[in-house]
Amino acid sequence: MLGKILIVEDDLFLQDFYRLFFKKIGGEILILEDGKKIIDEISNGKINLIIMDINLRNTYLNDQKIDGIKLSRYIKINFPNFSIPILLVTAYSQLSMRDEFLKDSLADDILVKPIVDYNQLIEKINKLVFV
């Protein structure tokens, strides 16, 4: 069982993609883009995985616009006892940028979009959830 997966994505098309994808493979998802709601949900301690876009256009935390890298870092630093794995999703395909994103965000893994290989997404999810 995948448990509860928090999707941090502000693109409506991709939100629909995740709804259909997880309906097909199972797992309860919650899609949020508001920073306070994201933090409130994490504070409840029932999240098994976070899938987060790096480029967030509409996400704010403490009245400041925040991207996926900063939000991931904030979560990892402020909620270390929960050890929630974070999978970043980005359109940046350069390997050096991906390595830098992982280092800066403290995230656990990264996936390049567009997501065309569903098996790769499933593999990354399984690796992070069923360690």
Categorize the per-residue pLDDT at 131 as very low, low, confident or very high, splitting at 50, 70 and 90: low
Instruction: Report whether pLDDT(124) > 80.
Output: yes
Residue 54 domain boundaries: 4-86+98-129
- Compute how many other C-beta atoms are within 10 angstroms of the C-beta atom of residue 51: 25
| Helix (H/G/I), strand (E/B), else coil: 44 | coil
The DSSP call for residue 45 is T
CB 64 within 8 A of CB 29: no
19 contact partners, CB below 8 Å, separation of at least 6: 29, 31
Is 93 within the bounds of a domain? no
pTM score, two decimals? 0.93
Is 69 within the bounds of a domain? yes
Domain count, the chain: 1
Is 114 within the bounds of a domain? yes
Is 115 within the bounds of a domain? yes
Q: What is the pLDDT of residue 95?
A: 72
Q: Which is more confidently placed, 85 or 82? A: 85
CATH for 114: 3.40.50.2300
Is 92 within the bounds of a domain? no
Strands 109-112 and 86-90: parallel
Distance CA 50, CA 87 (A): 6
| Helix (H/G/I), strand (E/B), else coil: 41 | helix
Is 91 within the bounds of a domain? no
pLDDT, tens only, 86-118: 999 998 777 778 889 999 999 999 998 888 888
Distance CA 84, CA 70 (A): 16
pLDDT, tens only, 21-68: 999 988 899 999 888 899 999 998 889 999 999 999 888 888 899 999
Distance CA 129, CA 94 (A): 26
| Helix (H/G/I), strand (E/B), else coil: 107 | coil
Say which amino acid occupies 18: Y
Is 47 within the bounds of a domain? yes
What residues form DSSP beta bridges with 32? Answer: 8
